[in-house]
Amino acid sequence: MPIYAVTGASGQLGRLAVLELLSRGVPGSDVVAVVRTPGKAADLAGRGVQVREADYSRPSSLVVALADVDRLLLVSSSEPDRRVIHHTNVIEGARSTGTSRIVYTSMLNADATTNPLAEEHQDTERALRGAGIPFTLLRNGWYTENYTGQLDEYLRRGEILGAAGSGRISAATRRDYARAAVTALLQDEPGNRSYELGGPAFDLSELARVISEVTSTAVVYRDLSVGEYKSSLRQAGLDQGSAEFVAALDVSIAHGDLATDSQDLARLLGRPATPLAEVVRTATQRTTIH
Ligand SMILES: NC(=O)c1ccc[n+]([C@@H]2O[C@H](COP(=O)([O-])OP(=O)(O)OC[C@H]3O[C@@H](n4cnc5c(N)ncnc54)[C@H](OP(=O)(O)O)[C@@H]3O)[C@@H](O)[C@H]2O)c1
């Protein structure tokens, strides 16, 4: 049986991928959870998963953690501006230990996007092409939770603020991306593969409409100019750099960078992505406002 490893396994997506591997019948002893802080993965160890400590910034720790690993799910690092070196360290570690496939969580439409987060994913894809290890690119769209995580705020204000215009967003839940990632990890693929992954597209007006319907609370989308949106983010407490970054993400959405017609996600899931109304309904169970 191959040994499967998942990096970022103490994080939200990585943890879901480890649990998905177990639920597909892979024995815990064949699953390696690569984590920076083993204490955060004690529950996974309790389920028989091999928890190994490694830091993306410490190449020697990666070489030890990836020993005997056949297939690796490289969950992209959460440290902006450090991602390329982090990912390159993991790829080098995998090469030195003879890993046979790397499955990497990249960004939707990475070939042609204005998204400010894209460059680090493009550089990582380049590093994978140069490494000579067969790879699978999971070009993930936005997490729906990027929005439903703000549900309390939307309901309190009665509005969603943004500068995304009618830009469409093919978002999906972390759970769906994790399930798709595990399918890609488990299946035997010849050569390299690339998947464009996203759920059914919505724009922020549709998101507001679905939230209104599900919660019976009126929420509208207020589309602002980029300048107005930056000011509102500053008033909400963001520093100038963060406000510019968040506004740039909406500009990218307005360009259509986070939309896709690809059915790759549904194919990997073996079913349609979780509908937006269902994701919102689940999120309402965690909100403090009803
Ligand atoms: N598609 C989207 O909408 C979207 C949104 C946000 C992020 N992302 C990307 O998707 C990735 C996974 O998302 P997520 O929600 O699971 O993020 P997350 O919950 O923040 O998890 C990030 C994981 O990366 C680990 N990590 C960070 N720096 C590390 C280092 N130097 N060495 C080893 N591990 C390190 C963290 O370990 P610790 O637990 O020790 O901190 C954590 O396990 C993110 O890292 C980011 O690249 C995508």
Mean pLDDT calculated for residue range 204-231: 98
Q: How far is the CA of 222 from the centre of ligand 1 (A)?
A: 30
pLDDT at 288 over 70: no
Average pLDDT of every residue of the chain: 97
Q: Ligand 1 in contact with 199 (CB < 6 A)?
A: no
pLDDT at 286 over 90: no
Quote the pLDDT of residue 225: 98
Short-list 49, 61, 126, 130, CA closest to 90 = 61
Q: Ligand 1 in contact with 78 (CB < 6 A)?
A: yes
pLDDT at 285 over 80: yes
Distance in angstroms (rounded) separating the CA atoms of residues 260 and 244: 25
Q: How far is the CA of 145 from the centre of ligand 1 (A)?
A: 14
Return the residue whose CA atom lies nearest to atom 25 of ligand 1.
Answer: 8
Task: Retrieve residue 223's tokens.
Answer: 């589309």
Distance in angstroms (rounded) separating the CA atoms of residues 106 and 195: 10
**Portion of the chain with pLDDT greater than 70, in percent:** 99
Quote the pLDDT of residue 287: 67
Mean pLDDT calculated for residue range 16-31: 98
Q: Ligand 1 in contact with 37 (CB < 6 A)?
A: yes
Q: Ligand 1 in contact with 40 (CB < 6 A)?
A: yes
Mean pLDDT calculated for residue range 240-263: 97
| CA 74, chain centre distance (Å) | 11
Return the residue whose CA atom lies nearest to atom 40 of ligand 1.
Answer: 36
pLDDT at 194 over 80: yes
Q: Higher pLDDT residue, 286 or 116?
A: 116
Sequence-separated (6 or more) residues with CB below 8 Å from residue 72: 4, 5, 6, 7, 66, 90, 94, 99, 101, 102, 103
Domains of the chain and any CATH numbers: 4-140+173-196+261-270 (3.40.50.720)
Short-list 4, 51, 53, CA closest to 26 = 4
DSSP 77: P
Q: How far is the CA of 91 from the centre of ligand 1 (A)?
A: 17
Q: Ligand 1 in contact with 79 (CB < 6 A)?
A: yes
How many residues comprise the chain? Answer: 290
- Give residue-wise pLDDT tens across range 197-207: 999 999 999 99
* Confidence at 142, pLDDT banded by 50, 70, 90: very high
Quote the pLDDT of residue 76: 98
Helix (H) or strand (E) holding 105: strand 101-107
Quote the pLDDT of residue 1: 86
pLDDT at 289 over 80: no
Cα angle: 47, vertex 73, 39; to 5 degrees: 40
- Give residue-wise pLDDT tens across range 47-106: 999 999 999 999 999 999 999 999 999 999 999 999 999 999 999 999 999 999 999 999
**Portion of the chain with pLDDT greater than 90, in percent:** 97
